[in-house]
Amino acid sequence: MTEKLTGWSEVESARYRAVGHWEGVTFGARLREAGTDHGDRVALVDGDRRWTYADLDTEADRVAHGLRGLGIERGDRVVVQLPNCAEFVLTWFGLQRLGAVPVHAMPGHRRREVGHLVRVSGAVACVVPDRHARFDHRQLMREVRAEQGRDGSLRTVVVVGDPGSEHGFVPFDALRAAPPTPGADDGGADSADVALLLLSGGTTGLPKLIPRTHDDYAYNARACAGICALDERTVYLAVLPVGFNFTFACPGVLGTLMAGGTVVIAPDPSPQTAFALVEREGVTLTSLTPPLVTHWVAEAASGAWDLGSLSVVQVGGARLPEEHARELGPALGATVQQVFGMAEGLINLTRLDDPEDLVCATQGRPVSPDDEILVVDADGRPVPDGAAGELLTRGPYTLRGYYRAEEHNRTAFTPDGYYRTGDVVRRLPSGHLVVVGRIKDQINRGGEKIAAVEVEEQLLTHPAITAAALVGVPDERRGERTVAFVVCDGEAPGARELAAHLRVRGLAGYKSPDEVVQVAGLPLTAVGKVDKATLAQTLLRP
């Protein structure tokens, strides 16, 4: 089954094709071309393992052959939950070669999130590590499978490492065992098909899926790559989770591969690991979230590392404090680029030749001349440049509707197709945006997005809690941390007890409140909503 549900009108689609944004090429076909055109160049490095473009092309054929043997075919969805390792990339292209659709899960997701992804996408398989960060993903998959029951879509679990003895769990290496059989480049997929599903940061009870087509996602990566001046000499270090849109396509892994460069996978984001790879591989570009910046600056100051190859460091996912932006460039001897992006589409970048003040104090401007931006007041009326308002956007790589979420789509978009980002920005006359706040009920914990409602629903399952509000409060290290204000029968559970409760409920660990504050009741606004601003204020008072 393939789905064309991406919502751009015929007229818009025709224009995006005519001006060359949408090139009409699938990812499977792109890799085939790269394998032929510059097959001997190094495409991918993970530890001691290296793949040339020709190797990557062959490996995609192998993995595709193995996946086909499991019954996976064009249009099938497959949840990929892998930590930073080459197998993410091999699996991704193996799926593209079949015209199948990877669903990007994050390594920290647990039963609740993964189960939801499988259910909503109707995934037929999951690809997971055996263990990662002291967590057994096979156990997680057993639970997900049990929950899905016999009628569920999930048939197979592919395990990188030791699959154990569970029926239906297949080792990744067995997929690659057969000799490569080059079949079709992309299983007959169309470039307007959904190529992958990304996870939204979410504002509702459960995360939404974002359909991205071959055409739009390749444009996303290519537009970013152009602005970052990527070419075959680029060596990109993937420090953040490789499945994160920022790391994967802004320009990240895909942008680098499309430019003929080399992608190096960092197994963890520590500056020690990263700097050793910068030295060894001659890394030229990498991307970070703001909480990493201070660690990287401190480690660079030790003087123990030769970071001479590093030319651009991107920072995004959450607001970067201006003073950190000013420190970072000199500390690493690199050009800083701020990135304000979203899995839904729109990417803003500061330009490499922007004056320092724009680089340090803004979050960049849209990457495409066809990104349409509106900054509006509460009634949806555009505000003048310089004034704060909600950012609305539409364009050649911004979604027109979440996957299988008709009801949510009615409010998430304006009638003429603009996506309501929920971000409050100011637009400068140069077109640069400054992110000044948010109207969506989401907390940004150093780049990790937490939908308050999702956590609040789970907090209410604790026997002592009768009402709860999750609020983001300023935090030195992460920008924001989460505080659960709870109304309780008797004594409130502590943060650790609550974390244990939520873990049993299958919620990802990063969603557990950093702090718990017991209150007698939750204050309400004039329209009867929980007054989170007032709650946050109570913490600031002595």
| Strand runs labelled E in 328-402 | 335-342, 345-349, 365-366, 372-376, 388-394
Among 31, 79, 230, 318, interactor with ligand OOB by CB under 6 A: 318
Which backbone phi and psi does 440 adopt, to 5 degrees?
-85, 150
CB under 8 Å to 145, separation ≥6 — which residues?
152, 154, 157, 168
8 A C-beta contact, residue 455 and residue 484: yes
Q: Please, what is the minimum distance in Å from the beta carbon of residue 364 to ligand OOB?
A: 8
Q: How far is the CB of 245 from ligand OOB (least distance, A)?
A: 4
| Beta-sheet pairing, 262-265 with 42-46 | parallel
Nearest approach in angstroms of CB 398 to ligand OOB is 12
Measured distance between the N- and C-terminal CA atoms of the chain, rounded to whole angstroms: 59
Q: Which stretch binds ligand OOB (CB under 6 A): 21-29, 46-54, 314-322, 369-377?
A: 314-322
Q: How far apart are CA 74 and CA 82, in angstroms?
A: 22
**Binding of ligand OOB by 201 (CB under 6 A):** yes
Q: Where are the beta strands (DSSP E) in 266-406?
A: 285-288, 312-316, 335-342, 345-349, 365-366, 372-376, 388-394
Instruction: Examine residue 251 and say whether the peptide bond preceding it is cis (omega within 30 degrees of 0).
Output: yes
Residues with Cβ < 8 Å from 357, sequence gap 6 or more?
none
Where in 375-404 is the site for ligand OOB (CB under 6 A)?
none
Least Cβ distance, residue 438 to ligand OOB (angstroms):
6
Nearer to ligand OOB, 250 or 300 (CB): 250
Q: Least Å distance between CB 222 and ligand OOB? A: 15
CB-nearer residue toward ligand OOB: 157 or 374: 374
* Residue matched to tokens 């079709």: 184
State in angstroms the smallest separation of the CB of 414 from ligand OOB. 16
Q: How far is CA 324 from CA 224, 288, 328, 477, in A?
A: 23, 12, 6, 12
Report helix, strand or coil for 223.
helix
Residue type, 416: D
Total of residues contacting ligand OOB (CB under 6 A): 22
Closest distance of CB 358 from ligand OOB, Å = 14
Q: Token pair 């070669």 is at which residue?
A: 97
CA 447 to chain centre: 10
Q: Considering only 35-43, 79-87, 332-340, 512-520, which stretch makes contact with ligand OOB by CB under 6 A?
A: 332-340
Residue from 109, 176, 214, 319 in contact with ligand OOB (CB under 6 A): 319
Using rule CB under 6 A, residue 316 touches ligand OOB: yes
Select the residue interacting with ligand OOB from 398, 444, 482, 512 (CB under 6 A): 444
Q: By CB under 6 A, is residue 423 in contact with ligand OOB?
A: yes
208 binds ligand OOB (CB under 6 A): no
Separation of alpha carbons 22 and 389, rounded Å: 31
Residue whose CB is less far from ligand OOB, 449 or 501: 449
Q: Rule CB under 6 A: say whether 341 interacts with ligand OOB.
A: yes
Length of the chain: 542
Nearest CB to ligand OOB, comparing residues 159 and 508: 508
Minimal distance in Å, beta carbon 210 to ligand OOB? 8
* Residue 59 vs 344, nearer CB to ligand OOB: 344
* Helices vs. strands in the chain: H and E counts, helices first: 18, 27
| C-beta atoms surrounding 397 within 10 Å | 27
Contact with ligand OOB (CB under 6 A) among 191, 203, 256, 338: 338
Among residues 138 and 212, whose Cβ is nearest to ligand OOB?
Answer: 212
User: What's phi and psi for 46, nearest 5 deg?
Assistant: -140, 110
Q: Give the span between the Cα atoms of 275 and 263, in whole angstroms.
A: 15
Q: Is 342 in the site for ligand OOB (CB under 6 A)?
A: yes
Is residue 363 part of the contact set for ligand OOB (CB under 6 A)?
yes
What is the C-alpha radius of gyration for the chain, rounded to an integer number of angstroms?
23
Residue with the shortest CB distance to ligand OOB: 341
For residue 141, count other CB atoms closer than 10 A to its CB: 26
The span of 85-93, 102-110, 335-343, 499-507 binding ligand OOB (CB under 6 A) equals: 335-343
Q: Shortest distance, CB of residue 267 to ligand OOB, whole angstroms?
A: 21
Cα–Cα dist 102/80, whole Å: 6
Q: Is 339 in the site for ligand OOB (CB under 6 A)?
A: yes
Minimal distance, residue 29 CB to ligand OOB, in Å: 25
Give the dihedral sign, CA 248/250/251/252.
Answer: negative
Using CB under 6 A as the binding rule, the residues of this chain from 227 to 246 that contact ligand OOB are: 245-246
Positions of E strands within 19-167? 42-46, 49-52, 77-80, 101-104, 125-129, 131-132, 135-136, 156-160
Contact string 138-157 vs ligand OOB (x = CB under 6 A): --------------------
Contacting range for ligand OOB; rule: CB under 6 A; set: 105-113, 155-163, 234-242, 316-324:
316-324
Among 89, 100, 435, 451, binds ligand OOB (CB under 6 A): 435
Binding site for ligand OOB (CB under 6 A): 201, 245-246, 250, 316-319, 338-343, 347, 363, 421, 423, 435, 438, 444, 449
